[in-house]
Amino acid sequence: MPHTPDPISEAHRQWSLRWPDHADHMAAVTSVMRAQQLLLSRIEAVLKPYALTFAAYEALRLLAFTRTGTLPMGKMGTRLMVHPASVTNVIGRLEQRGLVGRGPSPDDRRVVLATITQAGRDLAEEATLALNESGFGIAGLPAGQAAEITTALRAVRVSAGDLD
């Protein structure tokens, strides 16, 4: 099998010639961005038979994890770390499929609640089994390496102000 050159390694080499103090940071960020593209593609392929995007899967899984199956849509945006408009869009598509219901809170009619249906729970469970079986796109990595990646990326998230 022919050797495939790594464009990020070449970019690192070129960067090192002009900006040596920044080459490692550039390569790290570029590697994370490329890995995100690859993993999202793998995950979306696993979810395709369920007609779910990863965003829709995350919304269903979040609702399924709650005790009541219901959350305010604003809280969903916070927990999923996405813009409220994205939650509205995803929940709207899930609602059209009968996987989620949406309505006002009985305590505060300004608050919109999303509630997972039994069909949504069933689909979330099936999709979760498929994702678990696929190793979430990184089945080839030992668990220890996956944990190391999580730890390293947590440090990035802390430095970016995403976490305390």
Neighbours of 127 (CB within 10 A): 21
- Phi then psi for residue 70, to 5 deg, are -130, 140
Domain range annotation of the chain: 7-159
User: Does the structure show a pLDDT above 90 at 1?
Assistant: no
So what's the pLDDT on residue 143? 87
- What pLDDT is stored for residue 5 in this prediction? 87
Are 55 and 62 contacting, i.e. CB atoms less than 8 angstroms apart? no
* Domain spanning 7-159: CATH 1.10.10.10: yes
SS3 44: helix
Asked whether the predicted pLDDT for residue 43 surpasses 80, the reply is: yes
Q: Based on the number of CB atoms within 10 Å of its own CB, is 120 exposed (0-12), middle (13-18) or buried (19 or more)? A: buried
pTM listed for this prediction = 0.88
Read off the pLDDT of residues 64-119 as tens digits, 9 standing for 90 and up.
999 999 999 999 999 999 999 999 999 999 999 999 999 999 999 999 999 999 99
